[in-house]
Structure 1
Amino acid sequence: MSTNDSVLTRVFTQNMLRSLIDEQNNAPLLDKIIKRYEISFDGEVKNEKVISEIYQYLGKSYRNEYFYKNTLLNKLIISAHRLKTTTALTEIPVAKSKADFIMINGKAVVYEIKTELDNFDRLETQLQDYYKAFDHVCVVTSETQAKELFVRFENMPIGIYVLSSKNTIRRLKEPLEYRDLLEKDQIFKILNKPEYESIIKQINGELPNVTPVNYYKECRRIACEKSIDELYPMFLKELKKRNKIDIIDFNQVPYALRFLVYFSKFQQSQLDALSEYLNKPFEGVI
């Protein structure tokens, strides 16, 4: 990533999204991007148009990690009408890595993103980490990098997806179930307290009666006594509840912002404030 392009990463972030609904003045940052990349408009435009045009620039010239994640969410979940039956998670720590994007439906699939701006130096280590907690793993990359990955992983269970030049998601290689590296301890570490307590209640019917200092350790012991085939489905069931989306009509959310809104946990009043901002005239210099 060049120094000149780093400013683009500041637009599509949770901090930026929250500043929009708090009515902070973001015009100087957007102005800077419009001028630097010579994005032009005809006459007065609304804030939504400005943000959408900057996103279009990303798609043509600088497909960063946010662009990949937003495309995955839009193509695999929102456009496929899976919002009610599917949960997406992002940046989930697994061992020494963080899973970029996880989609949970009947199964959980990890999508590791390698954009045109990335290299593959840590890829194999990352994939091995993901297999410690999930049994379906994919790499999503560009058309120019896909051939190298296909050759490298041709005889392995790893799936390969391509973000095409037309910004569609194409499956090059189907991920296969692989459980040989699953570790019960790594699975348990991903769960938050309400999630692992739910599992303990399913196993024991009640929570352990131990001192607070020994509580986590005892819960982990109980969970890890189950076989992988027993524990893994309970683990997925809890994760699927983690980011349940109920109130958002994504037809009312600009395509460019859907990933941010999905993971924002906004209340309806905040969504209304965002919509109000997007419909206001842009206050910068066009």
Structure 2
Amino acid sequence: MKKAYNINQLRDYSCLFSRSEVNRWIDNDFDSVNLKIRRYDDKIAKTTYLKYLKSVYKVLQKFYANEYVYKNEFLNQWLIKELGSEKSIIFNEFRLGKAVADLVMFNGCSRVFEIKTLLDKESRLNSQLEEYKKIFNEIYLIIPNSKIETYKNYHESIGLIAYNQEKKEFLLVRKAIKNHSIDTDSIMKILHTKEYRNIVKEYYGEIPICNDFEQFNVCKKLIEEIPQEELSKLFIETMKQRKIFNRFSSNYKEFNQICLSLNLTDKQKEKLFINLNSTIVY
């Protein structure tokens, strides 16, 4: 590992940990990786793509802690520990309204984690937080250690988790204050037809007889009558039923976040890492 890297090289490296790249690796296409090797690392000893990419990740971790590094390290160091005995589920880039949450976790409560690196601006944060307050029990900002004072100014109910890049670890700065209110309009935009019908059936014991054109409005009206705290619990249990593949690897921990992003099955992951273990040919 060098003592310093050109910013263009670091940006080039960061592009390797993207959804489109990983899809190419699954298809055994390493043209883009080979291009980076020829451009920056043509003196490397004979090795595998896996070992090369692991070394690239270490470079990013030390010199260019972008959103992928933050997400992946937070997933490995923090969220995976919460996937214990209680059934939990983690979503990547969870869309609600005009906002897209970086990471969302449903277990005993609903939590959203919004990442703000040194490369990010704060301009959209207030509107994002307003969307999150409509849905989640707890909201956390994941921020650089050097930005704690800046983000402390946001509402005291927002939790803060700081990332120390030198130590490569996260610290809980401020715990989020739990909120049980939930906005019906917002969850109805998230729920699938089968899901909101199941919530109605779970709470009322039956689904009212109505045609396909009426069911959304009928179910929405009934869901609005469910007490907020009970609705929050029903929403969490509903989201935990979605088919998300949350099995993570300690051997390939550099790739856990991208596998989550693509929602790869065990079979797809197996194919990915078989391909990555092939010897570099560029």
TM-score per shorter chain, which class? 0.7 to 0.9
Offset of residue 159 of structure 1: 0.5
Unaligned 5+ residue runs, structure 1?
none
Letter of the 1:82 counterpart: G
Q: Helix, strand or coil for the counterpart of 1:99?
A: strand
Aligned pairs for 1:183-198 within 5 A:
183-198=183-198
Counterpart check, 1:250 vs 2:245: no
- After superposition, what is the alpha-carbon deviation per residue over 1:66-104, rounded to whole angstroms, capped at 9, x for unaligned? 111111211113356638632111222223211111122
Q: Helix, strand or coil for the counterpart of 1:188?
A: helix
| Contact 1:47–1:280, Cα closer than 8 Å, also in 2 | yes
What percentage of residue pairs aligned between the two structures are identical?
24
Aligned pairs for 1:173-212 within 5 A:
173-179=174-180, 182-212=182-212
Q: Helix, strand or coil for the counterpart of 2:272?
A: helix
- After superposition, what is the alpha-carbon deviation per residue over 1:148-177, rounded to whole angstroms, capped at 9, x for unaligned? 112x03x61111111111221111111111
User: Which residue of the partner structure matches residue 147 of structure 1?
Assistant: 149
User: Which residue of the partner structure matches residue 170 of structure 1?
Assistant: 171
User: Which residue of the partner structure matches residue 3 of structure 2?
Assistant: none
User: Which residue of the partner structure matches residue 49 of structure 1?
Assistant: 51
Offset of residue 223 of structure 1: 1.3
Letter of the 1:137 counterpart: I
Q: Distance in 2 between matches of 1:162 and 1:41?
A: 37
Offset of residue 178 of structure 1: 2.9
User: Which residue of the partner structure matches residue 106 of structure 1?
Assistant: 108
Q: Distance in 2 between matches of 1:282 and 1:264?
A: 24
Q: Helix, strand or coil for the counterpart of 2:103?
A: strand
Q: Distance in 1 between matches of 2:216 and 2:234?
A: 18
User: Which residue of the partner structure matches residue 16 of structure 1?
Assistant: 21
TM (norm. structure 1) is 0.86
Unaligned 5+ residue runs, structure 2?
1-6
| Contact 1:77–1:86, Cα closer than 8 Å, also in 2 | no
Q: 1:83 to 1:20 in 2, by over 3 A?
A: farther
Letter of the 2:175 counterpart: E
| Contact 2:184–2:220, Cα closer than 8 Å, also in 1 | no
Q: Distance in 2 between matches of 1:203 and 1:71?
A: 39
Q: 1:49 to 1:175 in 2, by over 3 A?
A: same
Offset of residue 281 of structure 1: 0.5
Task: Quote the RMSD (CA, aligned, Å).
Answer: 2.5
What number of residue pairs does the alignment pair up?
275
Offset of residue 143 of structure 1: 1.2
Aligned pairs for 1:1-150 within 5 A:
6-24=11-29, 26-27=30-31, 29-34=32-37, 38=40, 42-79=44-81, 82=84, 85-150=87-152
Q: 1:204 to 1:81 in 2, by over 3 A?
A: closer
TM (norm. structure 2) is 0.87
User: Which residue of the partner structure matches residue 231 of structure 2?
Assistant: 231
| Contact 1:160–1:174, Cα closer than 8 Å, also in 2 | yes
Q: 1:249 to 1:84 in 2, by over 3 A?
A: farther
Q: Distance in 2 between matches of 1:134 and 1:77?
A: 16
Letter of the 1:164 counterpart: N
